[in-house]
Amino acid sequence: MTLQDLNRLEEAEASHRQATMLKSDFAEAYYNLGNTLRELGRLVESEASYTQAIVLNSEYAEAYNNLGNILQQLGRFEEAEASYRQATVLQSDYAEAHNNLGVTLRELERLEEAETSYREAIRLKFDFAEAYSNLGVTLQELGRLEEAEAKYRQAITLKPDYAEAHRLLALMKTFDIQDEQYSIMRELYSDEKISEEQLCHINFGLAKASEDIGNIEQAFKHYCEGNALCKKLLNYDISEDIEFFKELKTSYPQIQKSALEIEILANNPMPIFIIGMPRSGTTLVEQIISSHSQVTGAGELDFVAQFGEAIARGLTLANTNTMLNFRENYLQKLKTLSNGKPFVTDKMPQNFRYLGLLVSSIPEAKIVHVKRSPPAVCWAHYKLYFSSKMLNYSYELDDIAQYYRLYENLMNFWTESFANRIYDLDYELLTVNQAEETTNLIHHLGLDWEEECLLPQNNVRSVSTASNMQVRKKLYQGSSQDWKKFKPFLNGRLDFIDL
């Protein structure tokens, strides 16, 4: 058993470094050092070690695979893709690399390619439970729900204690008290050997099952336990977000002074930014808009944050050059996703943080702000597990409510600054009066009316958000009231939000 196996990581690091000093061309020592540094959370150093291993041994498939893992964690998905592909070139039967490639392709919204990679991983390793589960996620996002459910079931058959697959399957079905999966999850919940990360997934799965069965008190207990574990594992502190929002306001006057006045070029697609709190209905609104023949729905894009966050926060000075550079980088990326259509939606909800930058650098853009009942939004956060690191505030009710106030305050700031640029769309009104609200929305966007916009459930585009099952159904009313059955257990924790 190695020092790393014994979790004596600092000693393992020292040992691997000693090996590289004794033999500077020892590729495996650099590879092992990279593994240890990754375990220590020192990703940049880990990347350097894997890279050196590859320099010393250009046919080191495992090093390419693990380098891909680091690049993926760092959000450098195109580079991760290249690294995984090289691993599969060097070792075509490397099932783990094919699976990891699929994960990166999914992050890049290339779902059909991701499906192919997962299927290849399964072909090479028929009992690869993780690949079955990952394939299920991708099929779910593609709207192939029955196939997705079957893959989750296969993953659990292969690996009965696969906590994440249990959670994913739980979200796709309705439980009764005799359900076999419910019994299995309860056994896993009581297993003293289960890790905190696994227990997090099991709690969310049991919460969904308990809610289906009608045991609301038990469901609330599991939601609380699951969220508490997630927050502990993430080590989140909302003070970081409070400071972030302060920076956005402080930096805006300089951005406003540097606002671009440019001639709109016909060869650029028109961005439609759909913003708001996550879980407010932005996915549904994108489905409606992208049902139009002139619109491509691009989903949740991270390009605004990637190219513009430093400007928005004042870390990079806003001037004509930096604003133009942001604009050109963003529109170039958008054009590659447009499928030749003149309008493209970007429904990253958290782009509400960057409205000052967007209005000042892409003045032609349309902005749709989706608003929903505050307690409904807050509860919808709390009852779901999120993989996105942008939603780390979601695992404690007080944090969620405080973040909602930050959002509300910032949106008021933007409204005071440029109210005429923001189209507010009320989610509850949309579900009650679909035809009128949809007609007004399409007219505001400058699009000709098309009846397909009233049938978002027929839109076959992929959906990579937590709402990917709901948007496959007809619009329904009342979802904003779901939180009220938990109100007796909330002890007034959402009451300070205007209901």
Q: What is the pLDDT of residue 470?
A: 55
Of the listed ranges 17-21, 39-43, 336-340, the least confidently predicted one is 17-21
Which class for 234: exposed (0-12), middle (13-18), buried (19 or more C-beta within 10 A)?
middle
Residue 131 or residue 481, greater confidence: 131
Helix (H, G, I), strand (E, B) or coil at 27: helix
Average pLDDT over residues 77-85: 97
Name the band, by pLDDT with cuts 50, 70 and 90, for residue 148.
Answer: very high
**Across all residues in the chain, what is the average pLDDT?**
91
Q: Are 365 and 358 in contact (CB under 8 A)?
A: yes
d(CA 16, CA 50): 13
Look at phi and psi of residue 276 and say left if phi exceeds 0, alpha if psi is from -120 to 50, else beta.
Answer: left
Query: Which helix H or strand E contains 212, and what residues bound it?
Result: helix 196-213
Going by their DSSP bridges, the two strands 343-346 and 295-297 should be labelled as parallel
Task: Please tell me the predicted confidence (pLDDT) of residue 499.
Answer: 43
Region of residue 214 (phi > 0: left; psi between -120 and 50: alpha; otherwise: beta): left
- Read off the pLDDT band of 30 (50, 70, 90): very high
Q: Could you say which DSSP state residue 44 is in?
A: H
pLDDT level of residue 21 (50, 70, 90 thresholds): confident
Helix (H, G, I), strand (E, B) or coil at 275: strand
**Sequence-ordered strand ranges (E) for 74-166:** none
The pLDDT-based confidence of 268 (bands split at 50, 70, 90) is confident
The residue among 493 and 144 whose pLDDT is bigger is 144
> What is the structure's pLDDT at 109?
86
When pLDDT is cut at 50, 70 and 90, the band that residue 16 belongs to is confident
In sequence order, the β-bridge partners of residue 273 are: 346, 367
CA distance 380 to 383: 6
pLDDT bin (cut points 50, 70, 90) of residue 457 is confident
pLDDT-based confidence at 495, cuts 50/70/90? confident
Question: What pLDDT is attached to residue 372?
Answer: 94
CB atoms under 10 Å from CB of 146, counted, come to: 8
Q: How many CB atoms lie within 10 A of CB 475?
A: 19
pTM score, whole prediction: 0.87
Confidence band (pLDDT; 50, 70, 90) for 474? low
Give DSSP secondary structure letters for 294-363: TEEE--S--HHHHHHHHHHTTSS---HHHHHHHHHHHHHHHHHTSTT-SEEEE--GGGGGGHHHHHHH-T
Domains of the chain: which residue ranges?
A: 1-92, 239-466
Sign of CA dihedral 483, 385, 455, 304: positive
Q: Is pLDDT at 271 greater than 70 in this prediction?
A: yes
Tokens at residue 136, please?
Answer: 């299920």
pLDDT-wise least confident of 3-7, 62-66, 156-160: 3-7
pLDDT tens digits along 175-233: 999 999 999 999 999 999 999 999 999 999 999 999 999 999 999 999 999 999 999 99
pLDDT band, very low/low/confident/very high, at 472 (cuts 50, 70, 90): very low
Whole-angstrom distance, CA of residue 282 vs CA of residue 303: 18
Q: Which is higher by pLDDT, 466 or 329?
A: 329
Residue 40: the pLDDT is 92
Q: CA 499 to CA 88: how far, in whole Å?
A: 54
C-alpha–C-alpha distance, residues 219 and 213, integer Å: 9
Spatial distance between the Cα atoms of 111 and 141, rounded to a whole number of angstroms: 8
* pLDDT for 2: 54
Mean pLDDT throughout 469-483? 63
Q: Is the pLDDT of residue 465 over 70?
A: no
> Is residue 418 over pLDDT 70?
yes
CA pair distance 162, 133, nearest whole angstrom: 9
Whether the CB-CB separation of 377 and 331 falls below 8 Å is answered with: no
- 292 DSSP assignment: S
Give the 3-state secondary structure of residue 270: strand
pLDDT class of 478 with cuts at 50, 70, 90: low
User: What are the tens digits of pLDDT across the range 236-254?
Assistant: 999 999 999 999 999 999 9
417, 469 Cβ separation under 8 angstroms: no
pLDDT of the residue at 410: 98
Alpha carbon separation from 95 to 99, 130, 161, 210, 481 (Å, rounded)? 6, 11, 21, 36, 45
For residue 463, the SS3 value is coil
Can you tell me the mean pLDDT for 31-46?
94
**pLDDT higher than threshold 80 for residue 435:** yes
- State yes or no: pLDDT of 150 exceeds 90: yes
Helix (H, G, I), strand (E, B) or coil at 247: helix
Token code pair at residue 35: 């593994």
* Cα–Cα–Cα angle for 490, 217, 226, rounded to 5 degrees: 75
Per-residue pLDDT of 279-310, as tens digits, reads 999 999 999 999 999 999 999 999 999 999 99
CATH fit for domain 1-92, picks 3.20.19.10, 1.25.40.10, 3.40.140.10, 3.10.150.10:
1.25.40.10
The residue that leads in pLDDT, 234 or 356, is 356
Q: What are the tens digits of pLDDT across the range 99-130?
A: 999 999 999 889 999 999 999 999 999 999 99
Question: Going along 359-496, which residue ranges are E strands?
Answer: 366-371, 422-426
Give me the half-sphere count of Cα atoms (radius 13 Å) on the Cβ side of residue 289.
Answer: 35
The per-residue pLDDT for 477 is: 62
How much is the average pLDDT of 478-489?
A: 82
Go through the chain and tell me how many residues it has.
Answer: 499
**Mean pLDDT, rounded, for 465-484:** 62
Q: Give, in words, the CATH class of 239-466.
A: alpha beta
